Structures are given as structure tokens and as C-alpha cells.
Structure 1
Amino acid sequence: MSYASARDIFPEDILEIIQKYVDGEYIYIPKKEENRIAWGELTQCKKELLERNNKIYGEYLLGNSVNALAEKYFLSPKSIQRIISKKKKELE
């Protein structure tokens, strides 16, 4: 997210109206609902995490301990437990 000067974006009359409510403060203007995209849609991150979590669950089923998986994947044991629990629920 980048910041832009309202002075460069809005016509003077609209800027004066906005200044009645917010004068010199930062505000966030959300995207329109139809322009929003889900997290991970623009990158492979979502896919990579899904693949990693599937590997973790598979290795857990093969007998690897939560602590060993946490060390291998540089995650906390609690995170490994959450991944395993979520995978179990998905497969039920």
C-alpha cells in the first residue's frame, strides 16, 4: 500500500469537505468489493503453504513427531499441531 497526497487526487471542493472530517490525519479508503482479491491470489504463496502443510501432515502420518517437524520446518510445535488438526478436519 502506498500513500498519495489528497491534494494531488481530489478536486479542491472535495478536499475541503474531507478536511471538515479529517484534517491532517491518515485515512484508509478500502477498495470496492468487486475489486478485492483474496490473499495469495497474485503470488504462489498460498499454493506453497498448502503443499508444505500437506507434506507436514504426510510426514506426521509416517510417524514423525511434532517436535521433529517443528524443527525441520522452522515452526513452533503449536503451529505444527494446528496444521495437523486442520488437515484432520479437512479429511473427515
Structure 2
Amino acid sequence: MTYVKATSVLPEDLIKEIQKYIQGEAIYIPKPDRNYKKWGTLSGERQRIDDRNYSIKQAYKRGISMKQLAEEFFLSIETIKKIIYTK
């Protein structure tokens, strides 16, 4: 995250209005919802996890035990249960 000096990007009237609520502090202004991308979508990590979870579910359906899956994927049995029982 980068910091931008408010006086270089915001109109003076808006700065004065913001100063009624906060002065001299850092404030985070989020992107609008339409510009927001979910975690991992840009890096591909979300897809990798979705693929892993699908593989876990398929292996469980083929009879692989939760313990074996936990060991193979380096996850706890509780996490394996969550993956298997999530729709």
C-alpha cells in the first residue's frame, strides 16, 4: 500500500470536511466494490486451492481416508473434514 498526500489529490473543500472527523492520522479508503478483486484471483492462488480441494473431495469419494488425505496434503484432519463437507 502506498501513501498519497491528500493535498495533492483531493480538493481543499473535501480535505476540510475530512478534517472534521480525523486529523493527522492515516486513513484507508477502499476501492469501490466494482473494482475489488477477491483474494488470490490475480495471483492464481484461489484457483490452485479450489483445484486442490476438488482433488481432495474426489479422492475421498474413491475411498481414501481422511487421515491419508491429511498426510498427503499436509493439512489437519479438521481441515480435510471442512473441505469434504463443504458444498
Q: Aligned residue for 1:82?
A: 82
The CA distance in 2 between the partners of 1:25 and 1:51, in whole Å, is: 42
Conservation of the 8 A alpha-carbon contact between 2:41 and 2:47: no
Provide the residue aligned with 2:9 in structure 1: 9
| CA deviation after TM superposition for structure 1 residue 81, in Å | 0.3
User: Do the aligned partners of residues 35 and 68 (structure 1) sit closer, same or farther apart at CA in structure 2, a change above 3 Å counting?
Assistant: same
SS in 2 for 1:60: helix
Aligned-partner residue type, residue 60 of structure 1: Y
Q: Distance in 1 between matches of 2:7 and 2:69?
A: 53
1:24-67 per-residue CA deviation (whole Å, 9 max, x = no partner) reads 22222122233223333323112211111111112222222212
Larger helix percent? 1
Compared CA separation, residues 32 and 71, structure 1 to 2 (3 A): same
User: Unpaired segments of 5 or more residues in structure 1?
Assistant: none
How many Å separate the matches in 2 of 1:75 and 1:6?
Answer: 45
User: TM-score normalized by structure 1?
Assistant: 0.73
1:32 alignment counterpart: 32
Residue 68 in structure 1 maps to residue 68 in structure 2: yes
Root-mean-square deviation over aligned CA pairs:
2.0
Instruction: Tell me the amino acid that sits aligned with residue 65 of structure 1.
Output: S
How many residues end up aligned between the 2 structures? 87
Distance in 1 between the 2:63 and 2:27 partners?
Answer: 51
2:45 aligns with: 45
